[in-house]
Chain A
């Protein structure tokens, strides 16, 4: 069974840092692209960024709203993805999800984790 479990959320002050984790199981983690997405309270879904697989040199993509502040890290030996968030702002408050991309010609999301809540507030 494919599972994605996020952790690491919590309350952090503006300007602070936080690292989220996404632990995967039930599939060959190293083969897949894995993404981070978020959802602010009462709002819609927003894509945060992507980690490509080893075959694609572990390259990353980011939304403009987080570029240069957030970094996606990946450890295939631990079947884990991380989101290092720096210089946090109140507008970064959201539930953060990781999602697996099915490796089709154009990768699409097939499985999502349950999410972890990040609150940026003083």
Chain B
């Protein structure tokens, strides 16, 4: 199984900040990497697929990059609605696996 390691597990940031979350796969995943946002009590929301492609309706403040085993999610101009938990997920091979999540909190 491919292990997905996210860091940090949590971070504190201020409105207007730019934050970066990292996801490392235990082996190469051919850029088949997605990012999801989850707010308390809500279902996950799909943000990015294929490492850097935005899902329909997702603002361009979200961006993804990476290759091989190392991937990042960057959120620019952090707004109150962006405070949530973010998960990465690989879909290169079964079983599909997720990172442990990064909780973005208000400083």
Q: Is the CB of A47 within 8 A of B95?
A: yes
Instruction: Select one of B55, B89, B95 contacting A110, CB under 8 A.
Output: B55
CB distance from B83 to the nearest CB of A (A): 18
B45 & A108 in contact (Cβ 8 Å cutoff): no
Instruction: Confirm or deny: B46 has a beta carbon within 8 angstroms of a beta carbon on chain A.
Output: yes
Does residue B62 face the partner (Cβ distance < 8 Å to A)? no
Residue pair B98, A44 in contact (C-beta under 8 Å): yes
The CB with the most chain B CB atoms within 10 A, among A46, A102, A108, A115, is that of: A108
CA distance A44 to B43 in the complex (A): 12
Chain B hits for A112, CB < 8 A: 43-46
Count B interface residues, CB 8 Å.
26
B34, CB-defined interface residue at 8 Å: yes
Q: Are B101 and A108 in contact (CB under 8 A)?
A: no
CB-CB under 8 A from A113, the residues of chain B are: 43
For residues 69 through 113 of chain A, which have their beta carbon under 8 Å from a beta carbon of chain B? 97, 102, 104, 106-113
B98 adjacent to A109 (CB under 8 Å): no
Interface residues on A, range: 20 to 34
| Contact, CB under 8 Å: A106 / B98 | no
In the complex, how many residue pairs between chain A and chain B have their CB atoms under 8 Å apart? 60
Once A109-B34, A112-B44 are accepted as A-B contacts, the answer to whether A104 and B50 lie under 8 Å apart by CB is yes
Contacting pair B44 A108 (CB below 8 A): no
**Interface of B (DSSP majority class):** loop
**A45–B44 touching, CB < 8 Å:** yes
Q: Does B71 contact A (CB under 8 A)?
A: no
Please tell me if the beta carbons of B43 and A108 are within 8 angstroms of each other in the complex.
no
CB distance from B96 to the nearest CB of A (A): 4
B76 sits at the interface (CB 8 A): no
What is the bound-complex CA distance between A97 and B44, given in angstroms? 9
**Residue with the greatest number of chain B CB neighbours at <10 A, chosen from A35, A50, A112:** A112
Chain A stretch 37-80: residues in CB contact (< 8 A) with chain B: 44-47, 50, 61, 63-64
Complex interface: chain A residues within 8 A of B56 (CB): 110
Interface residues of A (CB under 8 A from B): 35, 44-47, 50, 61, 63-64, 97, 102, 104, 106-115
Could you list 6 A-B pairs, sorted by A, with CB under 8 Å?
Answer: A46-B98, A47-B95, A61-B94, A106-B30, A112-B46, A113-B43
